[in-house]
Amino acid sequence: MKRLFSLIVLFSFFQSAAQLKPSDSIRLENLLKQMTLEEKIGQMNMYTGNIFGDDPVFTADFKYDDLKNGRVGAVLNVNGIKNTRLLQEMALQSRLKIPLLFGNDVLHGLHLLFPIPLAEAASWDIGLMEKTARIAAIESSARGNNWFFQPMVDITHDPRWGRVMEGAGEDPYLGSLIAAARVKGYQGNKLGDTNSVMATAKHFAAYGAAVGGRDYNTVDMSNQELWNVYLPPFKAAAEAGASSFMNSFNTLNGVPTTASSYLQRDILKGVWGFKGFVVSDWGSVGDMIAHGYVKDAAGAALASVTAGVDMDMEDQIYKKQLPRLVADGKVPVELIDDAVRRILAKKFELGLFDDPFKFIKEERWQKAINNPAHIATAREMAGKSIVLLKNEVPKGRTSPVLPLSKNVKTIALIGPHIMSVRENLGFWSPWWPDDSARIITQYQGIKNKVSRGTTLLYAKGCEVSDTSTAGFAEAVRIARQADVVIMSMGEQYDMSGESRSRSDITFPGVQEALIKAVYATGTPIVMLINAGRPLVFDWAADHVPAILYTWWLGTTAGGAIGDVLFGDYNPSGKLPITFPRSVGQIPIFYNHLSTGKPPKNDSVAYYRTGYIDLMQNPKFAFGHGLSYTTFEYSSLKMSDSIIKSGESVRVSLSVTNTGKVSGEETVQLYLRDRVASIVRPVKELKDFKKVVLKPGEAQTVIFEITPDKLAFYNEQGKLITEPGEFDIMIGSASDDIRLKGKFELEG
Ligand code: GLC
Note whether residue 49 is domain-resident.
no
CA 346 to centroid of ligand 1, rounded, Å: 20
The residue among 547, 579, 611 that closes a domain is: 579
Positions of the chain with pLDDT under 50: none
- Quick check: is 24 in a domain? no
Indicate whether 464 belongs to any domain: yes
* Co-location of 647 and 720 in the same domain: yes
Q: Does an H or E element contain 690, and which?
A: strand 684-693
How far is 122 from 128, CA to CA, in rounded Å? Answer: 12
Report CA(146)–ligand 1 centroid distance (Å): 16
What pLDDT was estimated at residue 8?
59
Residue 372 covered by a domain: no
Q: Say if CB 343 and CB 100 are below 8 A apart.
A: no
> How many A from CA of 438 to the centre of ligand 1?
27
Q: What is the pLDDT of residue 603?
A: 77
Q: Are residues 523 and 432 in the same domain?
A: yes
* Domain-embedded: residue 725: yes
Determine the residue of 165, 498, 499 to mutate for testing ligand 1's pocket, defined as the one with the most ligand atoms within 8 A of the Cβ atom. Answer: 498
Q: What is the pLDDT of residue 7?
A: 59
Same domain flag for 572 and 637: no
183 Cβ neighbours under 8 A, 6+ residues apart? 151, 199, 201, 237, 240, 241, 242
Domain end (from 543, 564, 579): 579
Query: How many domains, the chain?
Result: 2
CB 500 near ligand 1, within 6 Å: no
- Does 572 lie in the same domain as 639? no
Residues that are catalytic: 281
Q: Are residues 568 and 636 in the same domain?
A: no
The SS3 call for residue 189 is: coil
Instruction: Indicate if 444 and 544 belong to the same structural domain.
Output: yes
Q: What is the pLDDT of residue 19?
A: 75
Residues 474 and 409 in one domain: yes
Is residue 105 in contact with ligand 1, taking CB distance under 6 Å?
Answer: yes
Distance 184 CA to ligand 1 centre (A): 21
Do the domain assignments include residue 162? no
Note the pLDDT of residue 431: 85
CA distances from 461 to 366, 401, 470, 473, 561 (A): 40, 22, 8, 8, 20
Determine the pLDDT at residue 405: 98
Contact 479, 410 (CB under 8 A): no
**556, 579, 602: which is the final residue of a domain?**
579
Pick from 344, 361, 182, 188: nearest CA to 275: 344
Q: How far is the CA of 364 from the centre of ligand 1 (A)?
A: 27
Computed over its alpha carbons, how large is the radius of gyration of the chain?
27
Task: Report whether residue 216 contacts ligand 1, using a CB cutoff of 6 Å.
Answer: no
Is the CB–ligand 1 distance for residue 234 below 6 Å? no
Asked if residue 635 and residue 507 are part of one domain, the reply reads no
Distance from C-alpha of 76 to C-alpha of 148, rounded to nearest angstrom:
10
* Domain containing residue 655: CATH number: 2.60.40.10
Closest Cα partner for 75 from 140, 144, 137?
144
Q: Whose CA is nearest to atom 3 of ligand 1?
A: 281
Give the residue, out of 78, 105, 247, with the most ligand 1 atoms within 8 A of its beta carbon, to mutate for a pocket test. 105
In this structure, what CATH number is given to the domain that contains residue 438?
Answer: 3.40.50.1700
pLDDT score of 396: 86
Same domain? For 441 and 506 the reply is: yes
Q: Does residue 595 lie within any of the structural domains?
A: no
Distance in angstroms (rounded) separating the CA atoms of residues 481 and 502? 37
390 and 526 in a single domain? The answer is yes
Cβ atoms of 307 and 265 closer than 8 Å: yes
For ligand 1, is residue 427 a contact (CB within 6 Å)?
A: no
Q: Which domain holds residue 712?
A: 631-745
Ligand 1: atom nearest CA of 203 is 9
Q: Which of 647, 656, 658 is nearest to 745 (CA)?
A: 647
Q: Does any domain span residue 311?
A: no
Residue with the nearest Cα to atom 8 of ligand 1?
A: 281
Q: What local confidence, expressed as pLDDT, does residue 542 receive?
A: 98
Give me ligand 1 centre to Cα 717, in Å.
28
SS3 7: helix
Q: Check if 281 has its Cβ closer than 6 Å to any atom of ligand 1.
A: yes
Ligand 1 contacts CB of residue 282 (under 6 A) = yes
Specify the pLDDT at position 395.
85
**Do residues 659 and 551 share a domain?**
no
**Do 394 and 526 have their domain in common?**
yes
Q: Are 16 and 8 in contact (CB under 8 A)?
A: no
Burial (CB count <10 Å: 0-12, 13-18, 19+), residue 539:
middle
Question: Which atom of ligand 1 lies nearest, measured to the CA of 77?
Answer: 12
